[in-house]
Amino acid sequence: MIINMNEGATEDEIQHVIERVREAGFQAHVTRGTERCIVAAVGSGGKRHELEALAAAGGVAEVVPIAQPFKLVSRQVKPHRSVIEVGDVKIGDGSFAVIAGPCSVESRQQIFSTAQAVKAAGARLLRGGAYKPRTSPYDFQGLGVEALRLLSEVRKQVGLPVVTEVMSTEDAELIAEHADMLQVGARNMQNFALLRRLATVSKPVLLKRGPSATVKEWLLAAEYLLAGGNPKVVLCERGIKTFETETRNTLDLAAVALARELSHLPVMVDPSHGTGRRTLIAPTSRAAAALGADGIIVEVHPCPERALSDGAQSLDFRGFRDLMQSLAEPMRAVSIPQLRMDKAAAKS
Amino acid sequence: MIINMNEGATEDEIQHVIERVREAGFQAHVTRGTERCIVAAVGSGGKRHELEALAAAGGVAEVVPIAQPFKLVSRQVKPHRSVIEVGDVKIGDGSFAVIAGPCSVESRQQIFSTAQAVKAAGARLLRGGAYKPRTSPYDFQGLGVEALRLLSEVRKQVGLPVVTEVMSTEDAELIAEHADMLQVGARNMQNFALLRRLATVSKPVLLKRGPSATVKEWLLAAEYLLAGGNPKVVLCERGIKTFETETRNTLDLAAVALARELSHLPVMVDPSHGTGRRTLIAPTSRAAAALGADGIIVEVHPCPERALSDGAQSLDFRGFRDLMQSLAEPMRAVSIPQLRMDKAAAKS
Amino acid sequence: MIINMNEGATEDEIQHVIERVREAGFQAHVTRGTERCIVAAVGSGGKRHELEALAAAGGVAEVVPIAQPFKLVSRQVKPHRSVIEVGDVKIGDGSFAVIAGPCSVESRQQIFSTAQAVKAAGARLLRGGAYKPRTSPYDFQGLGVEALRLLSEVRKQVGLPVVTEVMSTEDAELIAEHADMLQVGARNMQNFALLRRLATVSKPVLLKRGPSATVKEWLLAAEYLLAGGNPKVVLCERGIKTFETETRNTLDLAAVALARELSHLPVMVDPSHGTGRRTLIAPTSRAAAALGADGIIVEVHPCPERALSDGAQSLDFRGFRDLMQSLAEPMRAVSIPQLRMDKAAAKS
Amino acid sequence: MIINMNEGATEDEIQHVIERVREAGFQAHVTRGTERCIVAAVGSGGKRHELEALAAAGGVAEVVPIAQPFKLVSRQVKPHRSVIEVGDVKIGDGSFAVIAGPCSVESRQQIFSTAQAVKAAGARLLRGGAYKPRTSPYDFQGLGVEALRLLSEVRKQVGLPVVTEVMSTEDAELIAEHADMLQVGARNMQNFALLRRLATVSKPVLLKRGPSATVKEWLLAAEYLLAGGNPKVVLCERGIKTFETETRNTLDLAAVALARELSHLPVMVDPSHGTGRRTLIAPTSRAAAALGADGIIVEVHPCPERALSDGAQSLDFRGFRDLMQSLAEPMRAVSIPQLRMDKAAAKS
């Protein structure tokens, strides 16, 4: 931490800060400039929050953190990329994993036909919502337990591991029994009670980035899971909220590359929520592959215009097959230069 | 809803949309322009989500909602302003309620001295966090049950109703026993499991606006509480996330006026989180009063530079007394013109 | 400047940075932490940009500026507030200046009737666009020279100083002849060629904040004017662009208080563009007054629904009279506590 | 346009709106719902702004535009993609054009060595700033005319067409003499005086998206150029301003795909400004290629840590060679599926 003093800070104020730094368990290195004085707190065993609170001390302009606040998710702690197993599928091993399925599980017929279609087209995992976070209380909230049972069945019969969202600590156990991977939705990224609960389940977690979360906040949310005992975390960029209204969200693909640079965890992309427009799903999926993302999660529905949720951004079966075809070549082309670049980036 | 067709939509596509509108339980009124065709879905008993899903039908450019999506929170449903009682304090009755206290309850000494100081200066309610949502798992997470007990005690002895945050459905009951008002933090505004749980408690709820929530999404979050059976809701604007980095958030005061125009619920302002800078708390609090807000919630700590959380934005006792003094006149001045303006706004 | 080295920075890389800091004309103070090394560049005569470019040097994590980048606009350079004279009206002297008038000058009848109406209601200056920045080339672009002549006439006959926008360096001279104050529109805030040109005219400038400009960037735009020789600058907050769509922009009132804290220049507020909704103009104007803003600029039109631009956010004459009445009391109430608070803020 | 009436709108207010719609030259189609009345203005010869101003009429809730506001840039007007020639280089013909060079021209040695190095590595055009838009008046502002002369020379000797920025109408002619393509910087995207001036030059224009411009506003800025007589426009996405602080801007790659869907103009990407981090340039460039962008513009400097501007985001010669290598495969792979997807997108 660096404590940056005001231009007019008095000698007493400076001494007070120096004392507080020492009380907090750090060494204080003082640099006196022509206009300002800077106090650097050096050491690693002290109490960080006591330094942060110095922002409230007299004569202090600001307290600037120097080190990254996350540890276990960091590539500095674990330089090699993590590979997360979901059922028999590996995410983060250099392949490009495709998760596909409907926004919500609506009926046996709907989820079975979708599972078969996406598997045939090359998807490796099935998504399907049982509990849906909906902006309005009057919108369809998911079939709940009934959907979980359908997902269990379809998993066995079709043979795709299943990803579904957990919205509440109370549902975590039940969902963990039925699903292979638990999704934390964007609006729950900083639901810390939920994160702490999911840190104790044995299933991997797909952690979506919040619509207004910085990359650091996203990695710190993942840190809750790792610090709590669950290292099986896959990050998922799904668009942030900006002033642009033509797309549902602004898909932040650079953040995917950045998260992979800062963390060893796999990073996937959700082009369906990320753009909200069917025509943009294929180009952004190709971009995700070329960028080095570890896969995508895509909404597919037998008849999008009859979907109970997210119809406008869902692909039909044919659209999904076209997507998979258009991805084939970028996925292959990218593997080699990607690895080369990653090494270069790591060195620089 | 209006279904806006593409310029090149075929007659078949238009007829298909018309049929679907009727299937969904609405009448279809068709307007054929020189370039485009518009289908208006008229009626109120039909299934809205089936219209929304038409965004995925062939030839459809977009589906534009016409009516506001919220009902029970709306001033159209209940034109008179709601007054919410918290203990013996009324919020929304035309007075300007001040909630004050530390970010976190840290010790008996800290919470008692703060309660006494803020009461003496004119605060009507006490805030204090027992469970803290923290971006990093390594930051202070609150004293939990111990803090709840201290809050109960201080309430009895000092005589201020107590507001504290609920982060998890599992804690709701316990917290409702100890506190007079339950706060939903900004990051949990769309934690729908939590909202559904708080809809069933008998205590009033202070619902903070999410850092990336539109006013509509905020009102829909409140709608979850009212629709679930709890009409005692106070809204609280606490700043949204924008590109500006000099302030912690961007306090959206116009949204306070807008929320009061659209809804009958009281609306308060949190200038501490809203700005993150002590020097901006007084001016924005005065602005909130002048605008017609129903009150403010302010962080106060005996010694901000020793606070375990949010020290940089906390006022000390003297700063809080100065704030209350500077608010005295705007609060008085505003009452009359405010009511006049509100009537004018309601008419227009 | 602080040069923050990577955790893995080599001794050679650290020495290289130290040398470069010295070459740039600064002293280098090195602090070696347990994990990282920090190099502080001390002194004031050196070349800042050479330090900034060190972000590209090997082993450097980031270069963090310590001092504020603006000088002449800063309260540290000039602690007393500036008072700017526009014709015979003073802005920044503690009074609350109201500028009112139509978005665009449309006809003699329109501008004369508006000038008389706003003067009668208490406005001190007249606004009216001659050259209009319009998002679409097909929208009304202003009457140009004809509008300037009408503004000159109305100024003489009605007796209100006139504010109008300059969009191009080429028009600056002509407009400076006809108007008392030149407005730089939000979209031109970083049109540096225009700023450099306006630094050489003798008329005061109303500098609107850009829709995505931070407070620092806004103050640096003002610095262009002062550094170029024109100290007569009034800042104007007019809303920033965020994800909120219910209001045209998000009016950042905290930024007004912050700009007044950081700079000695007067700061006004544009509630018309800032909110884009007529019903929000009065409450946000009252808030601006209570906050300590130096005035407002408001759009008024004889018949908003026939306006050639910005009708939806314009007040009619009656609406403007109501606004002025509702402002009377907050304006009076605020003067005393405001001064008290400003002193307190300056001390802290 | 659709004029959406309030729920409580009176019959008189509805009739008034209908009359005004007719006065404006449109037919009025009225749809009366159970709660609201909607008036659709049908026709194409009428005055759009008169409809827009109806937002200010009594009883009107909002005026919703239906048709896109841009014409000449639209793919509906010109379905085939435009190919823009810059010197002997074609942009938009299916190849992936790379523009490279320093942020600012600093010296003969610097610009010549860079031109040679980027040409050898495969760049097709040279960038180099002569007039620099800088946030602070104290930063390096470019060498001006001297830089233009160096660019002319290097163009002849090295044989790369030259792209440079125009900041002022007054410089347009001179720059058009020396450069092959004129760049409008992000902060000038809505400098309409400049756009009108550049509509009359014979050289192609590279139009950067503003940091807070929506895709529609960007296309409307291009519409100024086309409507004014210059059809040679290349769009360039360079990142928008969001709350994320780890990257300089948020590169909106979906907007690139969207702009190509809505418009026939070529769309390039600036990963240097778009991310502000050297390590993110290669992955986002690969993503741009895979997405179907028409090329990239990249900052390259012989010694980034000595650059007078933008050093932190500039590649050195070796970094640029690595970038070009890592792009080779994605560029090839993308061509076929890209065309297939574009057809599919155009149909849907």
Q: Are D307 and D301 in contact (CB under 8 A)?
A: yes
pLDDT of A334 higher than 70 = no
From A156's Cα to the closest Cα of chain B, the distance in A is 29
Q: What integer is the mean pLDDT of B277-306?
A: 96
Q: Are A265 and A234 in contact (CB under 8 A)?
A: yes
Same domain (yes/no): D274, D207? yes
From C332's Cα to the closest Cα of chain A, the distance in A is 33
Q: Are D291 and D252 in contact (CB under 8 A)?
A: no
Would you place residue D333 in the very low, low, confident or very high pLDDT band (cuts 50, 70, 90)? low
Of B254, B288, B289, the CB nearest to C251: B254
Of D140, D241, D311, the CB nearest to C212: D241
CB contacts of A224 in chain B (<8 Å) are 137
Domain of D25, CATH number, reads 3.30.70.1140
CB contacts of B171 in chain A (<8 Å) are 193
Chains with ≥3 CB–CB distances under 8 Å to D: A, B, C
Compute the count of residue pairs across chains B and C with CB atoms less than 8 Å apart: 184
CB atoms within 10 A of CB C25: 15
Q: Which of A86-95, D77-86, D125-134, D339-348 has the lowest mean pLDDT?
A: D339-348
Of D211, D311, D314, the CB nearest to C212: D211
Helix-then-strand count for chain C, H and E: 11, 14
Q: Which of A28-32, B179-183, C285-289, D19-23 has the lowest mean pLDDT?
A: A28-32
> pLDDT tens digit string along B58-94?
999 888 887 788 899 999 889 999 999 999 999 999 9
Q: Are B6 and B61 in contact (CB under 8 A)?
A: yes
CB contacts of A57 in chain C (<8 Å) are none
Phi, psi for residue D105 in degrees, rounded to 5: -75, 125
pLDDT of C32 higher than 90 = no
The pLDDT value given to residue B258: 98
Same domain (yes/no): B115, B27? no
Q: What integer is the mean pLDDT of C230-237?
A: 98
Same domain (yes/no): C182, C305? yes
Same domain (yes/no): A128, A51? no
* Cβ–Cβ gap C67/A35 under 8 Å: yes
Would you place residue A32 in the very low, low, confident or very high pLDDT band (cuts 50, 70, 90)? confident
Same domain (yes/no): C22, C145? no
Compute the count of residue pairs across chains B and D with CB atoms less than 8 Å apart: 56
The pLDDT value given to residue C1: 84
Q: Are C234 and B226 in contact (CB under 8 A)?
A: no
Q: For chain A, give the percent of residues with pLDDT over 90.
A: 73
Q: What integer is the mean pLDDT of B317-329?
A: 93
Distance, C-alpha D37 to centroid of its chain = 39
> pLDDT tens digit string along B202-222?
999 999 999 999 999 999 999
The pLDDT value given to residue B1: 84
pTM of the model: 0.93
Residue type, C181: M
Residue type, B269: V
Q: What is the mean pLDDT of chain B?
A: 91
Range of the domain at B151: 84-347
Residue A322 CA to residue A318 CA, distance in Å, equals: 6
Residue A311 CA to residue A6 CA, distance in Å, equals: 55
Please tell me which residue of chain B has the smallest CA distance to D30. Answer: B31
Same domain (yes/no): A10, A143? no
CB contacts of A49 in chain B (<8 Å) are 139-140, 308-309
Of C133, C192, C240, the CB nearest to D190: C133
Of A291, A326, A345, the CB nearest to D287: A291
Same domain (yes/no): C165, C200? yes
Asked if the structure places residue A7 within a domain, the reply is yes
Would you place residue B345 in the very low, low, confident or very high pLDDT band (cuts 50, 70, 90)? very low
**Chain D: residues touching B (Cβ < 8 Å):** 2, 4, 7, 29, 31-36, 38, 40, 42-44, 64, 66-67, 76, 241-243, 245
pLDDT of B19 higher than 70 = yes
Edge-to-edge strand ranges of the sheet holding A2-5: A27-32, A37-42, A2-5, A60-64
Give Cβ neighbours of residue D298 (< 8 Å, ≥ 6 apart). D98, D99, D100, D123, D270, D271, D272, D281, D285, D315, D320, D323
Q: What integer is the mean pLDDT of C33-41?
A: 84
Residue C239 CA to residue C276 CA, distance in Å, equals: 10
* A contact test, residue of C5, C37, C66 with most A CBs within 10 A: C66
Of the candidates A103, A107, A127, A106, the one whose C-alpha atom is nearest the C-alpha of residue A115 is A127
Asked if the structure places residue D69 within a domain, the reply is no
Residue B284 CA to residue C290 CA, distance in Å, equals: 8
Q: For chain D, give the percent of residues with pLDDT over 70.
A: 95
> pLDDT tens digit string along D55-98?
889 999 888 887 788 899 999 889 999 999 999 999 999 999 99
The pLDDT value given to residue B338: 47
Q: Are B72 and B229 in contact (CB under 8 A)?
A: no
What is the domain count for chain D? 2
Please tell me which residue of chain D has the smallest CA distance to B33. Answer: D42
Asked if the structure places residue A75 within a domain, the reply is no
The pLDDT value given to residue C324: 97
Same domain (yes/no): B40, B103? no
CB contacts of A286 in chain D (<8 Å) are 290-292, 334, 337-338, 341
Asked if the structure places residue C307 within a domain, the reply is yes
Residue type, D229: G
Supply the DSSP string of B42-108, one letter for each residue: E-SSS-HHHHHHGGGSTTEEEEE--S-S--TTBTTT--SPP-EEETTEEESSSS-EEEEE-SB---H
CB contacts of B341 in chain C (<8 Å) are 282-283, 322, 326
C-alpha angle with apex B266: B260 to B271, nearest 5 degrees?
90
Q: What is the mean pLDDT of chain C?
A: 91
Burial class (CB in 10 A: 0-12, 13-18, 19+), B14: buried
Asked if the structure places residue D78 within a domain, the reply is no
> pLDDT tens digit string along D208-252?
999 999 999 999 999 999 999 999 999 999 999 999 999 999 999
Would you place residue C161 in the very low, low, confident or very high pLDDT band (cuts 50, 70, 90)? very high
Same domain (yes/no): B239, B268? yes
Of the candidates C258, C10, D300, C215, the one whose C-alpha atom is nearest the C-alpha of residue B244 is C215
**What is the ipTM for the molecules in this complex?**
0.91
* D contact test, residue of A74, A238, A242, A325 with most D CBs within 10 A: A242
Phi, psi for residue C84 in degrees, rounded to 5: -105, 125
**For B133-195, where are the E strands, in sequence order?**
162-165, 181-184
Supply the DSSP string of D118-149, one letter for each residue: HHHHT-SEEE-BSS---SSTTS----THHHHH
What is the helix, strand, coil percentage profile of chain A, to 5?
45, 20, 40
pLDDT of B14 higher than 80 = yes
Check residues B340 and A166 and name the one with the higher pLDDT. A166
Asked if the structure places residue B333 within a domain, the reply is yes
Of the candidates C243, C244, C328, C336, the one whose C-alpha atom is nearest the C-alpha of residue C282 is C328
H/E run at residue C45: none
H/E run at residue D61: strand D60-64
Q: What is the mean pLDDT of chain A?
A: 91
pLDDT of C333 higher than 70 = no
Please tell me which residue of chain B has the smallest CA distance to D58. Answer: B348
pLDDT of C255 higher than 50 = yes
CA distances from C222 to A243, C190, C249, D232 (A): 26, 10, 22, 35
Residue A234 CA to residue A183 CA, distance in Å, equals: 9
Of B49, B170, B188, the CB nearest to A191: B188
* D contact test, residue of B2, B4, B5, B31 with most D CBs within 10 A: B31
Chains with ≥3 CB–CB distances under 8 Å to B: A, C, D
* B contact test, residue of A19, A49, A74, A309 with most B CBs within 10 A: A49
Of the candidates B340, B345, B127, the one whose C-alpha atom is nearest the C-alpha of residue B254 is B345
* Cβ–Cβ gap C283/B254 under 8 Å: yes
Of D56, D169, D217, the CB nearest to C170: D169
Here the tokens at position A144 are 């709940």
CB contacts of A284 in chain D (<8 Å) are 253-254, 257, 291
Q: Which of A323-337, B321-335, C33-47, D86-100 has the lowest mean pLDDT?
A: A323-337
Asked if the structure places residue D75 within a domain, the reply is no
Same domain (yes/no): D48, D164? no
pLDDT of C334 higher than 70 = no
* Cβ–Cβ gap B291/C277 under 8 Å: no
Domain of C287, CATH number, reads 3.20.20.70
Same domain (yes/no): D48, D146? no
> pLDDT tens digit string along A267-292?
999 999 999 999 999 999 999 999 99
Of A70, A135, A241, the CB nearest to B212: A241
Same domain (yes/no): B317, B219? yes
Of B32, B67, B245, the CB nearest to D36: B67
Asked if the structure places residue A170 within a domain, the reply is yes
